[in-house]
A and B are shown apart, each in its own frame.
Chain A
């Protein structure tokens, strides 16, 4: 597989991962008053949770295709990019702040994922 195709698979993976998580977040915070079953009924009556599910499915296929072409270490790098892109997406769409504990915590997790992936 050539470099352009691998780059495309990488982009599809990152996009579906990020869009899926952001859609689930959107589904989870709509209709804040409802609780329990009422909240779930509302989530299931709106498109976001299905959008997230579809993104998950697409991601699963893209991930399998991706892993069959590149070494696992490159896949781990992709997982790290997903952490960053979901955080940026959360900032842009949901106004989530980059507080110091969040930046430190996410930095530690990024380093940990890198070591687990590269140290095998």
Chain B
């Protein structure tokens, strides 16, 4: 696999797992309402399948992140992980009925351009001489 497709595929997986986990987390909170922060509330939360989807999503995202960090310098990797901002934006339109401004769409486009720029800028030879 080329470093470019590893980079793009890895961050796409991270984006999907992270967004999935966050949506499940939100659905867990909705199903466990009212938010009383007591044992019955915890029981309601653990009784929904969404909680387990959320845990699985976060675990998958963590494994993906550690795999990415093994091969990609942490500075660009951490910056590229802000791709999740777009995931949350896109999902919040249908799920939370949010209306986005054109400034936010422009911001999302800039984040995407930045991630693609980082993906293209990580040639295989960057592994040489760099301690990562």
Contact = CB atoms under 8 A, between A and B. Distances in A.
Interface in A25-69: 25, 27-29, 39, 43, 49
Given A79-B82, A83-B78, A120-B101, A112 B109 contact: yes
A114 B74 contact: no
A59 to B, nearest CB: 13
B114 A119 contact: no
A24 B65 contact: yes
B74 A105 contact: no
Which of A43, A111, A116 has the largest count of B CB atoms less than 10 A from its CB?
A116
Q: What does DSSP make chain A's interface, helix, strand, loop or mixed?
A: helix
A43, A86, A118 — which one has the most chain B CB atoms within 10 A of its CB?
A86
Contacts, number: 145
Contacts of A99: 121, 126
A96 B110 contact: no
Nearest to A56: B62
Contacts of A70: none
A87 interface: yes
A-B pairs, 5 with minimum CB distance: A101-B121, A119-B103, A115-B107, A108-B114, A112-B110
